[in-house]
Chains A and B, each alone.
Chain A
Amino acid sequence: MIATACLIALAAISLALLLNLYRLAVGPHALDRVLALDTMVINAIGLVVVLGIWFGVTIFFEAALLFAMVGFLSTVAFCKYLLRGNVIE
Chain B
Amino acid sequence: MTALLLTGSFFLLVGSFGLAKLPDMMRRLHAPTKATTLGIGALLIASMVYFTFAMGMPSFHELMITLFLFITAPVTAHLVAKAYILRHPDLRPHLPDVRASGGWATLGTTTADTRRGDD
**A residues in contact (CB < 8 Å) with B:** 1-2, 4-6, 8-10, 12-13, 15-17, 19-20, 22-23, 29-32, 34-36, 38-39, 42-43, 45-46, 49-50, 52-53, 56, 58, 61-62, 64-65, 68-69, 72, 75-76, 79-80, 82-85, 89
Say whether chain A's binding surface is mostly helix, strand, loop, or mixed: helix
Tell me which residues across on chain A come within 8 A of B65, comparing CB atoms.
45, 49, 61, 64-65, 68
Contact A31 B83 (CB under 8 A): yes
Tell me which residues across on chain A come within 8 A of B87, comparing CB atoms.
29-31, 82
Contact A75 B5, CB 8 Å, known A22-B20, A58-B51, A62-B61:
no
Tell me which residues across on chain A come within 8 A of B40, comparing CB atoms.
42, 45-46, 49
Q: How far is the CB of A47 from chain B (nearest CB, A)?
A: 9
Contact A39 B2 (CB under 8 A): no
Within 8 A of A (CB), among B1-44: 1-2, 5-6, 8-10, 12-13, 15-17, 19-20, 25, 28-29, 32, 36, 39-40, 43-44
Q: Is B94 engaged at the interface, CB distance under 8 Å to the other chain?
A: no
Contact A9 B32 (CB under 8 A): no
Contact A8 B9, CB 8 Å, known A45-B40, A61-B65, A82-B87:
yes
- Nearest B-chain residue to A22, judged by Cβ: B20
- Which of the residues B61, B68, B86 comes within 8 Å of A83, measured between beta carbons? B86
Tell me, in angstroms, the Cα distance from A65 to B66 when the chains sit together: 9
- Nearest A-chain residue to B110, judged by Cβ: A83
Tell me which residues across on chain B come within 8 A of A39, comparing CB atoms.
15-16, 19, 32, 36
Tell me which residues across on chain A come within 8 A of B116, comparing CB atoms.
84-85
Contact A65 B19 (CB under 8 A): no
Contact A85 B115 (CB under 8 A): yes
Q: Is B95 engaged at the interface, CB distance under 8 Å to the other chain?
A: no
- Which of the residues A50, A58, A79 comes within 8 Å of B83, measured between beta carbons? A79
